[in-house]
Amino acid sequence: MPHTIIQPEGWAPAKGYANGVLTPSGILHIGGQIGWDANKEFVGDGFIEQMEQALKNIRAIVEAAGGTVEDIVRLTWFVTDKAEYMAHQREVGEAYRRVLGKHFPAMSMLVVSELVEDRAKVEIEATAELSKAG
């Protein structure tokens, strides 16, 4: 059985990558999500608003594959400014819980000098394990 490309309904097409790839065994690999919406337009330049949007994008991909946020087993964060992240821990937690609730999968965070999209301050990739494969 081949892999299934997951693209939430109404999203601008992904060019040169897939937002999500679901394996026959039910593992959903979610490509790095940044702070832009379904039309590939940034929601703003603030770290918190971009982070929250990236998490919303991840949730949308998981749901488009038939899963829920509880199916997310790993998040890998790439941030361009460690000091900005550390200075806003409370807001980070509040935004996180608004999108993913109190579900805390395995996580890693890497500080990087820049991301491909110049306006992006954070990129988050994820893995989910869905109980029923596509």
pLDDT tens by residue, 84-133: 999 999 999 999 999 999 999 999 999 999 999 999 999 999 999 997 54
Structure-block tokens of residue 62: 């998981």
Sign of the dihedral defined by the CA atoms of residues 109, 78, 122, 13, in that order: negative
pLDDT > 70 fraction of the chain, expressed in percent and rounded: 97
Q: What's the pTM?
A: 0.95
65-79 pLDDT tens trace = 999 999 999 999 999
Closest CA to 80 of 61, 54, 58, 106: 54
- Domains of the chain, by residue range, sit at 4-129
CATH number for the domain running over 4-129: 3.30.1330.40
Average pLDDT, the chain: 95
Which pLDDT does position 132 carry in this prediction? 57
